[in-house]
Structure 1
Amino acid sequence: MPTHKDQRRQEAASRRAAMPASDRERAALDLAEWIHTCPFRLEYDVTVAAYVPVGTEPGSVPAGSGVAPTAMLDALLDRGVTVLLPVVPEGDPAPLDWARYTGPRSLETRRWGLLEPTGTRLGTAAIRAASVIFIPALAVDRTGIRLGRGAGYYDRSIAGLSAELVAVVYDDELVDSLPSDAHDVPVGWVLTPGGGFRELAAPRTDDSTD
């Protein structure tokens, strides 16, 4: 039987699939612009972990668009920070590996069609150097509960870290409440194309297992 989370994932995927190409392109540009007014310190000695958006994720763009899907990553590079991107490990879901992003030419298409960095793999512990981590999500609620795709790669990778965790979603994907599991790692911030960076309330402490 589909869980409540599964239903919410299906709803989010349907909404994203119906989004006009022009709206996705505008969202990618807006997200990149928000990096220049980021509330966190982004300077030469700072490490940031992020990801390349794919499919209809915020920041992704239609084929043939004049906007690069790496627009937000390139804005981070413009700030002078070190940018780490995930490398999905082979086999069952496990903590993500990481490598440096140095520009669009440092990427290649790998597992599940994801764009991943081609540079030296730095290991799963490399993310501990990041003071800010941008995380993909299908939705996030106002207490920081994030709806991911269900495999748990990110929850395994960010558990116990002290970095600022930022879920990146479309404006209508910031919602009042989402189901959660005990292993879900809440985020402290959300970034949306229309609203920019917003700090979220402390997560609730119920025992929901949907």
Structure 2
Amino acid sequence: MRRRVLEARSRMSPFVLAQCNAELAEWMYRLPLEIDPGGTVAAYVATRAEPGGTAMLDALLDRDLRVLLPIVPEGEPARLLWGEYRGEASLAEGRWGLLEPQGYRLDPDVLHDADLILVPAVAADRTGARLGRGAGYYDRTLASVDAPVVAVVHDDELFDDGVPHEVNDVPMDWVLTPGSGFVRVG
């Protein structure tokens, strides 16, 4: 499934991706729960044809929310570190060429302050299963966090069921797609 979805993403038109990302940014003004100004949302910087984009992050900043982004630690897969997003200019290339926030690195436990967590996914389903890239960084990081977790996928990457998952995989509370918005799962 991972290979099939990633191959389909690689064929996605840049114009279609830009439209999807614009729609996802609009959904940031209609989050599935109330978060007061100054609240914290953990998110991510999309890569290649991953859904998201900095417009989604900028929409969160526009709402006066604190936005945390992951920083991949050196060495074997472990819990993610975090940094604050302060606009696209605050990002620099990190491990594996991923864009990460510059400045002070925050401990993984900063996610205990998060009101909502948006995570990238290759696919997700209505049972709450999420298929990631396979290294387990997010599952290690989210295992002890109580905030609602949202998998972000393209419309055709949300399935009724059948997304492969393991016992250690953290279930999702919501899935966000450009066309349907926030869908409660689990």
Identity of aligned residues (%): 52
Instruction: Could you tell me which runs of 5 or more consecutive residues in structure 1 were left unpaired when the two chains were aligned.
Output: 1-7, 60-68, 202-210
Q: Is the 8 A contact 2:28 2:59 kept in 1?
A: yes
2:146 is paired with a residue whose SS is coil
TM-score when scaled to structure 1?
A: 0.86
Q: Deviations over 1:102-147 (max 9, x none)?
A: 1111110111111100020111111111010000000001111000
Q: For 1:42-53, what aligned pairs fall within 5 Å after superposition?
A: 42-53=35-46
- Asked if residue 164 in structure 1 is aligned to residue 157 in structure 2, the reply is no
**Distance in 1 of aligned mates of 2:82 and 2:45:** 13
Counterpart of 1:121, as a letter, is: R
Q: For 1:142-181, what aligned pairs fall within 5 Å after superposition?
A: 142-176=126-160, 177-181=162-166
Structure 1 segments of 4+ aligned residues over 3 angstroms from their partners: none
Aligned length: 185
- 1:42 CA drift (Å): 2.6
Q: For 1:60-75, what aligned pairs fall within 5 Å after superposition?
A: 69-75=53-59
- Asked if residue 192 in structure 1 is aligned to residue 177 in structure 2, the reply is yes
Counterpart of 2:16, as a letter, is: D
**Distance in 2 of aligned mates of 1:160 and 1:116:** 23
**Distance in 2 of aligned mates of 1:139 and 1:83:** 23
Please identify the structure whose Cα radius of gyration is greater: 1
TM-score when scaled to structure 2?
A: 0.97
* RMSD of aligned alpha carbons: 0.9
> Which moved further from structure 2: 99-108 or 145-154?
99-108
Q: Which residue of 2 aligns with 1:13?
A: 6
**Distance in 1 of aligned mates of 2:94 and 2:132:** 20
Q: For 1:1-210, what aligned pairs fall within 5 Å after superposition?
A: 8-59=1-52, 69-176=53-160, 177-201=162-186
Q: Is the 8 A contact 2:25 2:55 kept in 1?
A: yes
1:77 is paired with a residue whose SS is helix
